[in-house]
């Protein structure tokens, strides 16, 4: 035994490079190893969220945290312009259209026939403070009836079912049967309440899920889709050509632009019946799961800190672009208050002070009642509504606030 050990030692001394004897999968180039970030963006994002969201959400944060770190749940936005070859198969697997299900329709019949004070079920004191932060008007606000487009359909698997959707198949005309997206991302398009002959602006339209939902309503007389990124706009065009027939993509019905959204108020003022402002944000779920294109990268600290200002400018531009009597829907996919209700409060204040525009918050509480068995909504939100992730229904986060322009 001693002779074997001595021989082995001598042999190892003679071998200057042992890499040929090391399995390839275990080799590490020193240069690469030293350049790996010690604190990847995903870890920095989690540390930031633990510090801020734990104080914001309290006892709710641990469950939201686990859900954010788990695989998200998707919905299948059905394409009305396609002969859907997958619909029967999906229904056989237990999928249901959460928008037009019997459960949602019962909620609609229960709550849409009566008028409610803004936030009436949250108490009178909270109601008054909620309104005063947005407008000086002391008149009573009422909840608008929920009018859902019968043409928007989105299939989801039952609560707790984490089955993945298969890739959509094209029909004989090459149009795909459904678009996979976070089902909660359909809610802003529903809440916008597009009616017949409305002109609609989607100010930050890429990558295209919400724009596609707006197109599915088949109600808008004219739809304008904008994104400041030329590459993102090209992607948006590819999405539309994969889901919509060419006759719907003509210039008299649809316009796609690539301009700075913050300048839109100077381009077209008082022009649109409905405006969707789905702004760039920290994208919480992506920030926790992907290091690529992560807003918490050290090289993007300045960009991240300036996000609320950019969001405020985009919302203000959307408000100016809306016509009097029109409505604006602001949305993000973050839990961050400074990017959500903080942006709404500042933009509304600037609209009144600098442009003489009076605004009124439209309660989304009826929408919450309608879909509370599909999504988990944050309780006691000061302004707007927010879907929070939950393991049983791992959608979101999605924040929404609807504003009506009075003057």
What integer pLDDT is reported at residue 85 of this predicted model? 73
Written as six digits, the tokens of 109 are: 């019949």
d(Cα 275, Cα 292) in Å, to the nearest integer? 31
Query: Residue 98: helix, strand or coil by DSSP?
Result: coil
Q: What is the mean pLDDT of residues 65-76?
A: 96
Would you say residue 139 lies in a domain?
Answer: yes
The more confidently predicted of residues 107 and 400 is 400
Look at residue 288 and tell me whether its pLDDT is greater than 90: yes
Cα angle: 52, vertex 364, 223; to 5 degrees? 100
Residues identified as active-site: 333
Q: How far apart are CA 379 and CA 57, in angstroms?
A: 9
Residue 293's contacts (CB-CB under 8 Å, 6 or more residues apart) are 286
22 in a structural domain:
no
**Residue 137 pLDDT class (50, 70, 90 cuts):** very low
Read off the pLDDT band of 147 (50, 70, 90): confident
- For residue 361, pLDDT over 80 is answered with yes
Smallest Cα–Cα separation from 224: which of 201, 203, 193, 198?
201
Residue 72 domain flag: yes
Has residue 6 been placed in a domain?
no
Report pLDDT for 126.
36
| CA gap 238, 179 in Å, rounded | 13
Q: Are 367 and 191 in contact (CB under 8 A)?
A: yes
Tell me whether residue 282 is in a domain: yes
Question: In whole angstroms, what is the distance from residue 280 CA to residue 29 CA?
Answer: 37
So what's the pLDDT on residue 33? 52
Question: How much is the pLDDT for 102?
Answer: 55
CB-CB neighbours of 172 under 10 Å: 8
* Band of pLDDT at residue 24, cut at 50, 70 and 90: low
**Structure tokens belonging to residue 51:** 């510090």
Residue 322's beta-bridge partner residues?
A: 272
In this predicted structure, the answer to whether residue 112 has a pLDDT above a threshold of 90 is no
Under the banding of pLDDT at 50, 70 and 90, the label for residue 52 is very high
What is the pTM (predicted TM-score) of this model?
0.84
**Could you tell me the residue range of the domain that residue 313 belongs to?**
60-290+297-405
Q: What is the DSSP letter of 344?
A: H
- What would the pLDDT profile of 213-246 be if each residue is shown by its tens digit? 999 999 999 999 999 999 999 999 999 999 999 9
Check whether 276 has a pLDDT greater than 50. Answer: yes
Is residue 2 in some structural domain?
no
Q: Name the phi and psi angles at 75, rounded to 5.
A: -125, 160
Rounded (to 5) percent helix, strand, coil in the chain:
45, 15, 40
112 within domain boundaries: yes
DSSP 189-250: HHHT---TT-EEEETT-TT-HHHHHHHHT---SEEEEE-S-HHHHHHHHHHHHHHS-GGGSS
**What is the CATH classification number for the domain harbouring 186?**
3.40.50.150
3-state secondary structure of 8: helix
Residue 342 lies inside a defined structural domain of this protein? yes
Counting the structural domains of the chain, the total is: 1
Given a contact cutoff of 8 angstroms between Cβ atoms, the answer to whether 101 and 183 are in contact is: no
Could you tell me which residue, 246 or 130, shows the higher pLDDT?
246
- Find residue 117's DSSP bridge partners: 142
Whether 287 contacts 295, CB under 8 Å: yes
Q: What token pair was written down for 22?
A: 């090391």
Least confident of 82-96, 151-165, 248-262, 273-287: 82-96
CB 76 within 8 A of CB 401: no
């Amino acid at each position: 035994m001693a002779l074997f050990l001595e021989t082995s030692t001598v042999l190892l001394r003679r071998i200057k490079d042992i890499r040929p004897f090391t399995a390839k999968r275990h080799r590490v180039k020193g240069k690469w190893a030293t350049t790996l970030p010690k604190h990847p963006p995903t870890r920095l994002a989690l540390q930031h969220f633990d510090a801020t969201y734990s104080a914001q959400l309290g006892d709710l944060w641990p469950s939201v945290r686990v859900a954010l770190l788990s695989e998200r749940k998707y919905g299948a936005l059905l394409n009305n312009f396609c002969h859907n070859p997958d619909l029967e198969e999906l229904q056989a697997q237990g999928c249901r259209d959460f928008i037009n299900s019997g459960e949602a329709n019962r909620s609609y019949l229960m709550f849409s026939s009566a008028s409610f004070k803004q936030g009436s079920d949250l108490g009178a004191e909270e109601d008054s403070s909620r309104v005063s932060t947005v407008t000086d008007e002391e008149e009573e606000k009422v909840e608008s009836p929920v009018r859902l487009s019968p043409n928007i359909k989105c299939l989801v698997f039952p609560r707790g079912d984490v089955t993945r959707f298969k890739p959509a198949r094209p029909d004989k005309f090459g149009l795909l049967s459904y678009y996979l997206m976070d089902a909660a991302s359909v809610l802003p398009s529903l809440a916008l309440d597009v009616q017949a002959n409305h002109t609609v602006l989607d100010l930050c339209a890429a990558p295209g899920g919400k724009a596609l939902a707006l197109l599915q309503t088949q109600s808008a007389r004219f739809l304008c889709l904008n994104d400041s990124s030329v590459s993102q706009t090209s992607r948006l065009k590819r999405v539309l050509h994969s889901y919509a027939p060419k006759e719907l993509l003509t210039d008299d019905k649809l316009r796609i632009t690539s301009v700075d959204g913050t300048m839109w108020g100077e381009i077209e003022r008082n022009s649109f019946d409905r405006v969707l402002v789905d702004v760039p944000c920290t994208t919480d779920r992506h920030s926790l799961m992907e290091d690529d294109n992560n807003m918490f990268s050290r090289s993007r600290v300045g960009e991240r800190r300036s996000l609320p200002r950019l969001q405020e400018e985009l919302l203000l531009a959307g408000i100016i672009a809306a016509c009097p009597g029109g409505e604006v829907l602001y949305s993000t996919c973050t839990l961050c208050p400074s990017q959500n209700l903080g942006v709404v409060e500042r933009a509304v204040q600037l609209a009144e002070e600098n442009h003489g525009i009076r605004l009124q918050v439209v309660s989304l509480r009826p929408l919450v009642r309608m879909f509370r068995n599909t999504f988990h909504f944050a309780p006691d939100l000061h302004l707007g509504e927010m879907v929070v992730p939950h393991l049983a229904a791992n959608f979101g986060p999605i924040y929404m606030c609807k504003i009506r322009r009075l003057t």
